[in-house]
Chains A and B, each alone.
Chain A
């Protein structure tokens, strides 16, 4: 069965960086884009970008350009999202999700989420 398992909660100071991992299993990792979506406490969903695990190509939301880096390690079927220069308003649950049903498809499987808390 398809699973995306994310790394554990993080507490970071303002200005630091955080790197969240997303390990895929149950399908061919390189066959499906991985997206990252975040959700601040009590708020809605915000799309951050995607990575093509096959080529390593990425597409980031303008809001995160220059601060986010999405990478992958195909040998261990894992995608990563690194966010730098953290601010208090980056406190959120960060999700990875697989894009299914081909290009421009829905996000059909999601990780369990990783809470990142930014606090001095």
Chain B
């Protein structure tokens, strides 16, 4: 199975901060990397797929980069509605493993 490791597990940030979250795969997953956002009591929401493709309706302050095994989610200027938990997932092979999540809260 491919292991997905996110860092950090949590972070505190202020409105307007630039935030980066890292996701590392235990082997190459090509471009099959997706980012989701989840708020308490809600289903996950698709943010970015294929490493860097922004899902329709997602603000442009979200961006993704990386290749092979190392990937980054960047929020260029954190907004109040961005406080949530973020998960990466690989779809290169089954099982389609998720990272353990990164919780972003208010400093």
Contact = CB atoms under 8 A, between A and B. Distances in A.
Indicate, yes or no, whether A interacts with B.
yes
Interface of A: 35, 37, 44-47, 49-50, 59, 61-63, 95, 97, 99-101, 104-108, 110-113
B68 interface: no
Interface of B: 1, 32, 34, 36, 38, 43-46, 49-50, 55, 87, 89, 91-92, 94-101
Contacts of B50: 101, 106
Given A44-B87, A45-B101, A105-B49, A111 B32 contact: no
B86 to A, nearest CB: 11
A107 B46 contact: yes
Contacts of B45: 110
Given A104-B92, A106-B91, A108-B46, A47 B34 contact: no
B96 A108 contact: no
A97 B45 CA distance: 10
Contacts of B99: 44
Given A47-B96, A59-B94, A113-B43, A106 B101 contact: no
Given A35-B96, A45-B101, A61-B94, A110 B43 contact: yes
A87 to B, nearest CB: 19
A32 B97 CA distance: 19
Nearest to A104: B91
B104 to A, nearest CB: 15
Given A45-B87, A61-B94, A110-B45, 10 more contacts: A35-B96, A47-B96, A50-B96, A105-B49, A107-B34, A107-B44, A108-B49, A108-B55, A110-B44, A113-B43
